[in-house]
Structure 1
Amino acid sequence: MKLLVWVVVFLVPIVAGIRSDGVLFTKHPVNQTVSQGNAVRLGCAFQGVMEPDIVWMKDGEKLYSTDQMFITLGDQHWETFHSVKSVQQQDAGQYWCEVEFHDLTFSSERAWIMVEGVPHFVQEPQDVATLPNVPFNLTCAAVGPPEPVELLWWLGGVQKGEPRPSPSVLLVQGVTSSIKFYCEAKNTRGISVSRTGTIHIKVLPSAPVGLQVLRILDNNVTLSWKPGFTGYSELSHCIVQVSRRSTRRWDHPEQKVLVPPYIRVLSSLRSYSNYSVRVSCVNEVGASPFSPWLNFQTPESVPMVAPRNLTFNLSEQQLFLSWAKLQDDELQGKLLAYRVQWTLGGEAQEPLLFKENSAQLSGAGRFLNASFQVSACTTVGCGPWTPPVQVLPASVQVQVQRSHMWVGLLLGLLVATVVGLLFAMLAHRRGKETQFGSAFKAPGPERLVSFTAAQSFSRNGAELQEATLDSLGINDDLKNKLQDVLISERLITLGHVLGKGEFGSVREAYLKMEDSSVQKVAVKVLKSDITSSGDIEQCLKEAAYMKDFHHPNVIQLIGVSLHRRPGQRLPIPMVVLPFMKHGDLHTFLLLSRLGEQPFDLSLQCLIQFMLDISRGMEYLSSRNIIHRDLAARNCMLNEDMTVCVADFGLSKKIYSGDYYRQGSVSKLPVKWIALESLSDNVFTTQSDVWAYGVTMWEIMTRGQTPYPGVENSEIYEYLIKGERLKKPPDCRDNIYEIMHSCWSPVPKCRPSFQHLVSQLEALWLSLSPSTPLKEPLLYINLEEEKKEPCNEGRGATSALGLEEAAVATSSCWSVPWQRLGEEEEEEDWLMVGSAAAMAIGGDYRYIIGPCGGTEQENEEVEVAGRRRDTLQEEMRDDDDDVIINV
Structure 2
Amino acid sequence: GMKFTGSPIKFPPPQGQPVKLNCSLEGMEDPEMLWIKDGAVVPPPDQVYIPVDEEHWIGFLSLKSPPRTDSGKYWCQVENPPPKEESQQVWLIVEGPPHYYHLSVAFLGVPYFTVEPEDVSVSPNAPFHMACAAVGPPEPVTIVWWMGDSRVGLPDISPSILNVSGINQSTVFSCEAHNVKGLSSSRTATVQIKAMPLPPLNVTVSQVTSSNASVVWVPGFDGRAPLHSCTLQVAESPDGQEVSTEVTPVPPFAYGVQGLKHSTNYSVRVQCSNEMGSSPFTDRVYFQTLELAPSSTPQNIHVIQRDPGLILEWEGVAPDVLKENVLGYRLEWIQDNVTQGEMIVQDTKANLTTWNPLKDLIIRVCVLNSAGCGPWSDLFLLEAQEVMGGQRQPPYGTSWVPVALGILTALVTAVALALILLRKRRKETRFGHAFGSVVGRGDPAVHFRAARSFNREGPELIEATLESVGISDELKTKLKDVLIQEQQFTLGRMLGKGEFGSVREALLKLDDGSFQKVAVKMLKADIFTSTDIEEFLREAACMKEFDHPHVTKLIGVSLRSRPKGRLPIPMVILPFMKHGDLHAFLLMSRIGENPFNLPVQTLLKFMIDIASGMEYLSSKNFIHRDLAARNCMLDENMNVSVADFGLSKKIYSGDYYRQGCASKLPVKWLALESLADNLYTTHSDVWAFGVTMWEIVTRGQTPYAGIENAEIYNYLISGNRLKQPPECLEDVYDLMCRCWHPEPKLRPSFGVLRSQLEMIRGRMSTLSASQDPLYVNIGKDKEASASDPALHASFGNTDGEETVAGAAAPVTSDYRYIMSPLCLGDGAEGERHPDGQEGEDKSLLYELETEGEKSC
Q: TM-score range by the shorter chain?
A: 0.3 to 0.5
Query: In terms of Rg, which structure is larger?
Result: 2
What TM-score do the two structures reach when normalised by structure 1? 0.40
**Does 1 or 2 have the higher relative contact order (CA < 8 Å, sep 6+)?**
2
